[in-house]
């Protein structure tokens, strides 16, 4: 057995391939394993001399080993009559399963054709693909590279189950090679040692040449500009009969083949001809194989044709196309390069190339032709010479030469096509986000895949069409999790890594431990040779495997990132677990030892590396630091996750430490809006805490209860916290608990002013600069309460302080609440531009950071209301719809209810009174069902709307009655804005009933309330209604004065709006009617 030859790895006609040295610790590989065994060998040996047996076995195994070697495999062992080979280690190719099956079929062909080399015995072959470990095994003095894993065991069992003369393969091998190999499906096999039956297929034949990856039927996406460019070149070639060369560059899977397929369809639809030739990555074909394929297509040569028959077909084709005087030279040249010439035929290189040129030109003269050379990066040097010769020397014929290649070609031909004045190139990059999304959704049609998984596919694929397709395919039937790399993608990337020089490949593997991004300093620490690392980085950048990051996070060190996330995943997954642990520890020590850097600045990274290194205690310590930093920055979702990871590493018996982390986690849940989980987590924790921590937990519970609309529980927990803080005589806790109590009281309409009084009293004694987080919460509570009572000036003052302080202290819930309530108070004062700026900023932060969009849904409510007052109906409706969607996601019905009420008011603005009339009863019922959390606010709004609806429906008596009820309710719950609204409706209803004097009296009362509120919309609405009542009562001068007051209020308000909003506002029908009235 010629082991040395097998170890040398594959040969490629134009490009020598390196074989990585065997790592000391080995590597994890996705590989294809082949077992071949002679049938009846034991009986064959019986009675024969051992030397005779050795001759037969050596001849047989040498033959099998040569086949493995030629197809790029590696013979790992020969035991007696059995050979084991692996494809994919130590060198990977993107078609290893196909290579293995071709090897098996070739072995059977040789055994049939040359039985004497096999002692007259038949052969059984079993092949299987899967995850495996490839590394040295054995005694120290005789360690040999071996493959370990279940894939190997299954391959061995398949060999035993294979029929004599057959090649039996497993499922992964079948899936990866079925586009070029013919199979017969078998019943699942019950193999020895396997509990579940194993699917198996019998290989019966293979395509004569390696085929392209089969393309899905989905339309081409995102390559329209590239296709148009190709078509334009083709049309120009036909128009001016001038040969051209176009090279299509792209990484594996980027869409080269799909683009070519679409272009081929266009050419053939225009009566053009396309001749295709593909170069192969292994030495199974002639030097000019791609050209030979084109000749066979044009001449109609079949795989079953003998050489004489094939030569005859070539001669007939040449006779049809080529002038008589050139036919002999052309026929000889074509036959020679296509491997069809008779033995002894020869000619010089110039004559051969000249004959081929004449053949190509003649073919193009007869029919405009595209000569397509696929996978040209695998081509032999001689084929590249031939193409360059033809493309530079051909003239006056409509011939387009299309070369499809990976950038790998430039390593052997850096000046490819530069000598050709008629050459151009197309470089395919990753799909744009919208195109990638479009492709993914087309491919996912009919596949069971969640929206979240589809989003993750898009993130991982990063615009590579093949990666998108294979990641989605891997989800069909959920045979693999998204954390796995599908074998097809693994093969493509592993093959690319194995093409690297040894040191550069090692740099990639070492860098993968640091993560998707890594630092030059870390690589130098791991590898030691700074200059070699620098050279390797330059080469890896040039090949697009890594890229420099423009803004490094570590001062004084260069930062890089893998060119694609999946490059990183495959590189990292290649490392064995033990090696990963060692390297993670080395990276962690590097980060800790950086000059002038505090470990806390890299806490999350350090936690990750120490955990992967198996150092649980150190990892837990850094996880808590990272969680604290996340919480301080307002990233509560991340903080909760990090606290949970820390708890998983801390022993149960360390209860004091665990309780402190559990408290932090519960508080982060509250700050992030995950109230129900926070309540459950904190309730079980309080009894286990000391007094001070128990007060903090009670305050957090009360906050959570407040936002889950549990009024009584929120107040009870807050009072317990106040009592405990008083017992401890802890001023800081007293301030925090009192602040929470004032917020809880504001939930009850009759206690809102009590809450304001307690809150302001707390602020009066608040020590300057202390407990800024709690201070932000207290200010927010007061902002909310002032908005309810209509004291907008004071509310805006407290709200601005709360909002800025919440942002400064990264208090997400306070910032979102303060932003929404500040927006309400600013709107109440008519400062709508300021309100919109605050609401838009707060909403953006909430959508990005809030765990559960409860507070963000309330911001959308406030935003919609501000837009409604500007008569921006469509935008207001959109914000209300967003509020509804978010409230449903958050399980927070109040925002949905308020949005539905706001949509009711929008119906009134748009004149959809009948729709509003049918909606309000259900909304009132919904509001009353929300007992315990500001239900009175929603009820008051619906009651005011109900009165206005009745008025507009012409039911004046009903309107007056409903308005009177709404006024009484607004006074009871201290909601002056809706008292004014209801009084305005009552005045209009009285006027409609013929009681003008009573209307004037009621509207003057409404005007007093509106002026007290200083709410411009209320002012001009009441003034315009009052003008009508005064006019009906005969008070012309007073009526003109009221009209003038309404106009002035509108004009003053509009002067503070942006030009665009001012135009929309002044153009609203309702505003035009007021401005035109009384003139």
996-1033 residue pLDDT tens: 999 999 999 999 999 998 999 999 999 999 999 999 99
Cβ contacts of residue 184 below 8 Å, gap of 6+? 201, 202, 204
Whether the full predicted model's pTM is greater than 0.85, yes or no, is: no
CB 1000 within 8 A of CB 776: no
State the pLDDT at residue 601. 61
| Nearest CA-CA partner of 64 in 21, 17, 124, 135 | 124
CA-CA distance, 295 to 289, in Å (whole number)? 10
Question: 576: exposed, middle or buried (C-beta count within 10 Å: 0-12, 13-18, 19+)?
Answer: middle
Give the C-alpha separation, 534 to 541, whole Å: 11
Q: Alpha-carbon distance 281 to 379, whole Å?
A: 8
- Can you read off the two tokens belonging to residue 876? 């207001």
Going along the chain from its start, the domains and CATH numbers come out as 3-206 (3.30.70.1230), 224-427 (3.40.50.300), 433-494 (no CATH)
Residue-level pLDDT at 931: 60
Asked if 973 and 937 count as a contact pair (C-beta separation under 8 A), the reply is yes
Count of positions (residues) in the chain:
1079
- Whether 78 and 135 have beta carbons less than 8 Å apart is answered as no
Of 46, 271, 343, 6, nearest to 145 by C-alpha is: 6
Instruction: Give me the pLDDT at residue 482, please.
Output: 37
* 176 half-sphere exposure, CB direction, 13 A CA radius: 29
The two tokens of residue 92 are 């990977």
The predicted-structure confidence for 654-683, as pLDDT tens digits, reads as follows: 999 999 999 999 999 988 778 889 999 999
Walking along the chain (1079 residues) 10 residues at a time, the average pLDDT comes out as 34 43 70 94 86 89 93 90 92 89 95 91 94 82 79 92 94 88 91 87 81 61 90 92 91 85 90 88 67 88 83 89 84 80 61 86 92 87 87 89 88 79 86 86 78 79 80 60 67 84 91 87 87 91 83 72 83 87 89 63 84 92 90 80 94 92 92 85 90 91 82 87 90 82 69 80 83 83 87 94 89 88 94 96 89 88 95 95 91 88 94 94 87 73 94 94 94 88 95 93 94 92 94 90 93 94 93 81
CB neighbour list of residue 219: distance below 8 Å, 6 or more residues apart = 442
Determine if the peptide bond prior to 90 is cis (ω within 30°).
yes
- The rounded distance, in Å, linking the Cα atoms of 1079 and 1077 is 6
Q: Ramachandran region of residue 899, left (φ > 0), alpha (ψ -120 to 50) or beta?
A: alpha
Residue 748 gets which letter from DSSP? S
How is 53-84 classified by DSSP, letter by letter? Answer: HHHHHHHHHHHHHHHHHHTT-EEEEEETTEEE
| pLDDT of amino acid 451 | 78
Tell me whether residue 392 is exposed, middle or buried, using C-beta atoms within 10 angstroms of its C-beta: 0 to 12, 13 to 18, 19 or more.
Answer: middle
Give the C-alpha separation, 385 to 292, whole Å.
15
What pLDDT shows up at residue 809? 82
Alpha-carbon distance of 282 to 69, in angstroms, equals 10
How far is residue 77 from each of residues 88, 169, 702, 954, measured CA to CA in Å? 16, 20, 70, 97
Cross-strand pairs, 203: 167, 183
- Residue-by-residue DSSP string for 911-947: T-HHHHHHHHHHHHHHHHHTTTSSHHHHHHHHHHHHH
pLDDT of residue 813: 80
DSSP secondary-structure letter at 750? Answer: G
Determine the 3-state secondary structure of 528 from DSSP. Answer: coil
Return the closest-CA partner of residue 245 out of 376, 358, 337.
376
């Amino acid at each position: 057995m010629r082991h040395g030859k097998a170890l040398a790895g594959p040969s490629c006609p134009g490009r020598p391939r390196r074989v990585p040295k065997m790592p000391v610790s080995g590597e994890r590989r996705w590989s294809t394993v082949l077992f071949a065994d002679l049938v009846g060998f034991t009986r064959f040996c019986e009675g024969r001399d051992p030397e005779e047996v050795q001759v037969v076995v050596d001849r047989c195994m040498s033959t099998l080993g040569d086949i493995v070697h030629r197809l790029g495999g590696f013979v790992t062992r020969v035991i007696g009559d059995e050979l084991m080979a692996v494809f994919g280690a130590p060198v990977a190719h993107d078609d290893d399963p196909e290579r293995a099956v071709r090897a098996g079929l070739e072995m059977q062909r040789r055994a049939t054709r040359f039985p004497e080399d096999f002692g007259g015995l038949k052969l059984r072959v079993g092949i299987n693909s899967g995850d495996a470990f490839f590394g040295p095994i054995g005694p120290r003095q005789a360690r040999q590279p071996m493959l370990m894993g279940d894939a190997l065991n299954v391959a061995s069992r398949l060999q035993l189950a294979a029929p004599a003369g057959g090649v039996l393969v497993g499922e992964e091998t079948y899936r990866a090679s079925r586009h070029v190999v013919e199979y017969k499906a078998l019943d699942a096999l019950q193999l020895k040692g396997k509990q579940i039956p194993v699917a198996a297929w019998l290989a019966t034949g293979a395509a004569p040449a390696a085929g392209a990856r089969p393309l899905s039927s989905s339309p081409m996406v995102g390559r329209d500009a590239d296709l148009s460019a190709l078509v334009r070149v083709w049309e120009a070639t036909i128009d001016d009969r001038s040969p051209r060369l176009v090279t299509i560059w792209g990484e594996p899977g980027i869409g080269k083949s799909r683009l070519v397929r679409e272009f081929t369809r266009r050419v053939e639809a225009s009566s053009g001809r396309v001749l295709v030739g593909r170069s192969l990555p292994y030495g199974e074909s002639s030097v000019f194989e791609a050209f030979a394929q084109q000749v066979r297509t044009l001449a109609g040569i079949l795989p079953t044709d003998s050489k004489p028959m094939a030569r005859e077909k070539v001669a007939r084709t040449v006779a049809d196309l080529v002038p008589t005087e050139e036919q002999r030279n052309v026929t000889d040249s074509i036959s020679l390069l296509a491997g069809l010439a008779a033995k002894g035929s020869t000619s010089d290189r110039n004559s051969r190339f000249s004959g081929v040129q004449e053949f190509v030109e003649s073919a193009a003269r007869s029919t405009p032709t595209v000569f397509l050379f696929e996978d040209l990066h695998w081509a032999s040097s001689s084929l590249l010479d031939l193409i360059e010769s033809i493309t530079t020397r051909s003239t006056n014929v409509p011939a387009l030469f299309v070369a499809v290649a990976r950038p790998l070609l430039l390593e052997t031909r850096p000046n490819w096509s530069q000598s050709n004045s008629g050459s151009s190139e197309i470089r395919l990059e990753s799909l744009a986000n919208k195109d990638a999304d479009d492709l993914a959704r087309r491919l996912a049609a009919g596949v069971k895949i969640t929206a979240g998984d589809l989003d993750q596919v898009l993130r991982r694929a990063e615009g590579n069409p093949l990666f998108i397709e294979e990641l989605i395919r891997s989800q069909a039937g959920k045979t693999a999790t998204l954390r796995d790399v599908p074998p097809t993608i693994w093969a493509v990337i592993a093959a690319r890594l194995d093409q690297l020089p040894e040191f550069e490949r090692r740099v990639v593997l070492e860098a993968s431990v640091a993560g998707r991004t890594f630092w030059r300093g870390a690589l130098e620490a791991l590898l030691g040779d700074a200059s070699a690392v620098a050279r390797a980085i330059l080469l890896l950048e040039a090949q697009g495997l890594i890229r420099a990051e423009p803004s490094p996070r570590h001062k004084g060190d260069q930062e890089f990132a893998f060119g694609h996330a999946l490059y990183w995943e495959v590189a990292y997954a290649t490392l064995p677990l033990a090696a990963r642990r060692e390297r993670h520890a080395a990276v962690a020590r590097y980060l800790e030892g950086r000059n002038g850097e505090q470990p806390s600045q890299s806490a999350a990274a350090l936690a990750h590396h120490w955990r992967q290194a198996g150092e649980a205690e150190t990892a837990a310590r850094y996880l808590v630091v990272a969680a604290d930093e996340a919480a301080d920055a307002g990233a509560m979702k991340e903080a909760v996750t990090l606290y949970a990871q820390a708890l998983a590493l801390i022993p149960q018996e360390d209860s004091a430490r665990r309780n402190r982390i559990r408290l932090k986690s519960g508080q982060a849940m509250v700050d992030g809006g995950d109230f129900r989980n926070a309540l459950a987590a904190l309730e079980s924790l309080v009894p286990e805490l000391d007094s001070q921590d128990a007060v903090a937990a009670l305050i957090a519970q009360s906050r959570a209860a407040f936002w889950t609309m549990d009024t009584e529980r929120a107040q009870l927990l807050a009072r317990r916290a106040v009592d405990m803080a008083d017992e401890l005589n802890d001023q800081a806790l007293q301030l925090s608990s009192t602040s929470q109590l004032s917020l809880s009281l504001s939930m009850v309409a009759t206690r809102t002013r009590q809450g304001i009084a307690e809150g302001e009293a707390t602020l009066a004694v608040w020590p300057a600069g202390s407990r800024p987080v709690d201070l932000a919460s207290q200010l927010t509570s007061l902002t909310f309460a002032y908005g309810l009572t209509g004291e907008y000036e004071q509310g805006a003052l407290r709200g601005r302080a709360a909002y800025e302080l919440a942002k400064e202290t990264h208090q997400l819930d306070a910032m979102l609440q303060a932003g929404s309530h500040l927006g309400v108070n600013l709107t109440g004062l008519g400062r709508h531009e300021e309100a919109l700026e605050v609401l838009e900023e707060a909403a953006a932060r909430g959508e990005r950071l809030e765990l559960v969009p409860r507070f963000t849904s309330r911001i959308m409510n406030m935003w919609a209301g501000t837009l409604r007052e500007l008569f921006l109906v469509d935008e207001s409706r959109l914000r209300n719809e967003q509020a509804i969607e978010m409230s449903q996601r958050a399980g927070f019905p109040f925002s949905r209810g308020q949005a539905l009420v706001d949509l009711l008011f929008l119906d009134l603005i748009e004149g959809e009174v009948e729709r509003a009339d049918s909606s309000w009863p259900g909304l009132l019922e919904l509001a009353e069902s929300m007992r315990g959390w500001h239900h009175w606010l929603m009820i008051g709004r619906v009651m005011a709307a109900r009165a206005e609806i009745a008025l507009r429906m012409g039911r004046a008596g009903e309107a007056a009655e409903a308005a009177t009820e709404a006024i009484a309710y607004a006074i009871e719950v201290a909601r002056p804005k809706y008292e004014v609204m209801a009084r305005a409706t009552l005045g209009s209803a009285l006027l409609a009933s013929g009681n003008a004097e009573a209307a004037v009296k009621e509207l003057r009362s409404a005007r007093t309330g509106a002026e007290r509120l200083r709410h411009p919309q209320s002012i001009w609405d009441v003034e315009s209604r009052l003008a009508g009542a005064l006019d009906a009562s005969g008070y012309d001068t007073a009526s003109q004065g009221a009209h003038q007051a309404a106009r002035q209020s509108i004009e003053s308000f509009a002067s503070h709006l942006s030009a665009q909003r001012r135009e929309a506002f002044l153009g609203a029908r309702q505003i035009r009617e007021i401005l035109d009235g009384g003139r």
